[in-house]
């Protein structure tokens, strides 16, 4: 890096020894930025120039990840630089979008917000140990267009072909951009790791190229500085797939252009046409932006956009008459919002609210084909936690609201609920009286948080065990 950056290296090295920059992105599916600023229990920092819904966070002892607003999905904590790929891909409402390597879900949640929960968003993660974390973050965010898959890119390409309007490949990399944030990334690094990552990245891109429709866009990003994993990967890709052209990304403050001359420094003054196109990519350096290191390249697949075939899934069943009766009985008593009947589909005994245009996933491994609304048990319907987080304020009839302002004590109703313990429903001062037996939506300052069930004067706790972070 000293040889590549020259006089800038001193500032770069100093930045890597400094404090990492943390960011917060508001969930615009649930509330706008101004409303969040009005209710935020902390003062956000500077606006992130490339993301209208995001701020940097001040350095403090405040536990941003444990605040109940985070558990309610009102915001996502993310490095500001990592917010750029989804923003620069610019997905539109109604489009078909694929996040090919989606865990832990930061870019998926951003794509969901940008598409306004409309169209189709497939969030894929190949690693079994990471796909559960992805699911939790997507469920907390509450989009209505997300499908979570646990597949190899090759099987997705074989099944779908050139199906998607936009594909994001946030590729596994050597993690050099995380060096000041993650000491593990420093310990794991080696030149051999860089070379191995470059091979893996080229293979992933080869498959991703097949998933983009003519006229569609493919975005490649890494969190590393190594030219072998960035400009060199793109150069090789353009040689193999000439139908793809690099698009010029915008010049936000601190953004640097791609460095084709870094591929082979000895030829830095003899750029060819392809190398000049790679300059359309951008690099984010920690000494130039408030964020960690990133490389981003957006490419468009040439050719005329064809009329997209409307795929409908036949692999998920519709409700039986008895199941429809149970769902309607639950919804009529508990919910104050309608769900489109044609989007209610079954997978085993689980009821899902699927995206508007759900393709047939065949034999692909699908973790969730939409919003998990609940499960049919014997003679009853039991709501799932993702349904609670999909609801917006005012969309449930039976509500217990727990104020965040009174959550400082261990025995406050909110703390008790988040530990998974039952609550009395006799109108304890500071929170809403529950008078109706049955399923009740628990909220924090009006924002849905989870389920409880009132039985004989006690609100039974149905907050999922895996979410009980205060225990």
Q: Cβ–Cβ contacts within 10 Å for residue 365, how many?
A: 15
| CA–CA distances in Å: residue 61 to residues 57, 64, 290, 360, 404 | 11, 9, 20, 47, 18
173 in active site: no
Catalytic-labelled residue, pool 51, 173, 197, 223: 223
CA proximity to 99, closest of 83, 111, 114 = 111
Q: Cβ–Cβ contacts within 10 Å for residue 453, how many?
A: 17
CA proximity to 447, closest of 412, 400, 405 = 400
Rounded to whole angstroms, the Cα distance separating 389 from 368 reads 15
CA angle 178, 76, 251 (to 5 degrees): 60
Give backbone dihedrals phi and psi of 105, rounded to 5 degrees, phi first: 120, 0
Rounded to whole angstroms, the Cα distance separating 267 from 257 reads 18
Alpha helices in 361-412 (DSSP H): 385-390
Rounded to whole angstroms, the Cα distance separating 268 from 231 reads 13
CA proximity to 8, closest of 290, 83, 16 = 16
Give the β-pairing of 96-99 and 75-77.
unpaired
User: Which tokens is 192 given?
Assistant: 């051999």
CA proximity to 23, closest of 106, 100, 91 = 106
Give backbone dihedrals phi and psi of 439, rounded to 5 degrees, phi first: -70, 135
Q: Cβ–Cβ contacts within 10 Å for residue 2, how many?
A: 10
Residues with a catalytic annotation lie at 223
């Amino acid at each position: 890096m000293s040889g590549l950056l020259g006089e800038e290296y001193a500032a770069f090295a100093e930045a890597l020894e400094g404090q990492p920059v943390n960011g917060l992105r508001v969930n615009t599916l649930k509330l706008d930025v101004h409303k969040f600023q009005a209710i935020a229990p902390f003062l956000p920092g500077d606006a992130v120039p490339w993301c209208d819904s995001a701020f940097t966070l001040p350095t403090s002892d405040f536990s941003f990840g444990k605040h109940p607003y985070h558990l309610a999905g009102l915001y996502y904590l993310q490095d500001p630089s990592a917010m750029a790929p989804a923003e620069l891909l610019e997905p539109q409402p109604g489009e078909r979008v694929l996040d090919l390597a989606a865990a832990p879900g930061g870019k998926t949640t951003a794509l969901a917000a940008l598409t306004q929960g409309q169209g189709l968003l497939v969030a894929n993660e190949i690693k079994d140990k990471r796909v559960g974390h992805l699911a939790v973050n997507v469920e907390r965010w509450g989009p209505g267009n997300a499908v979570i898959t646990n597949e190899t890119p090759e099987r997705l390409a074989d099944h779908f072909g050139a199906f998607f309007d936009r594909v994001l490949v946030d590729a596994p990399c050597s993690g050099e951009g995380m060096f000041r944030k993650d000491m593990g990334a420093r310990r794991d690094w080696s030149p051999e790791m860089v070379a191995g990552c470059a091979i893996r990245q080229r293979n992933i891109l080869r498959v991703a190229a097949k998933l983009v429709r003519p006229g569609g866009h493919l975005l490649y990003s890494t969190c590393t500085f190594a030219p072998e994993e960035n400009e060199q990967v793109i150069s090789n890709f353009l040689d193999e797939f000439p139908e793809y052209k690099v698009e010029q990304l915008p010049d936000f403050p601190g953004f640097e252009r791609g460095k084709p001359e870094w591929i082979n420094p000895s030829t830095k003054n003899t750029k060819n046409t392809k190398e000049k196109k790679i300059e359309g990519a951008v690099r984010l350096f920690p000494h130039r932006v408030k964020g960690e290191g990133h490389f981003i390249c957006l490419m468009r697949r040439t050719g005329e956009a064809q009329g997209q075939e409307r795929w409908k899934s036949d692999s998920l069943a519709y409700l039986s008459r008895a199941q429809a009766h149970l769902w309607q009985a639950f919804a009529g008593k508990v919910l104050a919002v309608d769900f489109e009947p044609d989007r209610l589909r079954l997978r085993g005994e689980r009821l899902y609210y699927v995206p508007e245009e759900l393709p047939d996933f065949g034999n692909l491994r699908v973790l969730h084909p939409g919003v998990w609304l609940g499960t049919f048990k014997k003679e009853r319907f039991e709501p799932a936690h993702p349904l609670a987080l999909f609801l917006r304020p005012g969309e449930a009839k039976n509500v217990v609201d727990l104020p965040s302002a009174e959550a400082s004590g261990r025995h406050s109703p909110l703390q008790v609920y988040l530990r998974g313990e039952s609550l009395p429903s006799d109108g304890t001062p500071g929170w809403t009286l529950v008078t109706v037996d049955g399923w009740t939506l628990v909220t924090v300052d009006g924002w849905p948080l989870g389920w409880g069930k009132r039985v004989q004067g006690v609100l039974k706790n149905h907050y999922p065990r895996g979410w009980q972070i205060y225990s």
